[in-house]
Amino acid sequence: MTDTAGSIGVPDFDDENVEQKKSSRAGRKFKNRGNLSRLALFCRQIVAELRKVVWPTRSQLSTYTTVVIVFVVIMIGLVTAIDYGFQVAAPFIFG
């Protein structure tokens, strides 16, 4: 770090004190609370985050569900075909 005179290695400000002040304030904030109030705060934060979620509409949800089901059916068919192919090929290779 450099200061206005261009000295290298001299910190512009004391990073350790700033971090210590932040952590002590945050620690004090939650040390005085009981377990029940911490749980209530946690639940309020969960509800606040869920309100930020952009929920899909019913038509979007049905479209997404259909795409997933079709993809799974295709993958099941592919794995079944490969498994049947190995089952038929195994006697020719090892038998």
Q: 57-78, pLDDT tens digit by residue?
A: 999 999 999 999 999 999 999 9
Residue 47 and residue 37: Cα distance in Å, rounded?
Answer: 15
1, 9 in Cβ contact below 8 A? Answer: yes
Segment 17-41 shows an average pLDDT of 70
Q: How confident is the model at residue 49 (pLDDT cuts 50, 70, 90)?
A: very high
| pLDDT given at position 34 | 86
| pLDDT given at position 35 | 87
* 2: β partners: 8
| pLDDT given at position 67 | 98
| pLDDT given at position 11 | 57
What is Dmax (Cα atoms) for the chain?
Answer: 84
Model confidence pTM above 0.75: no
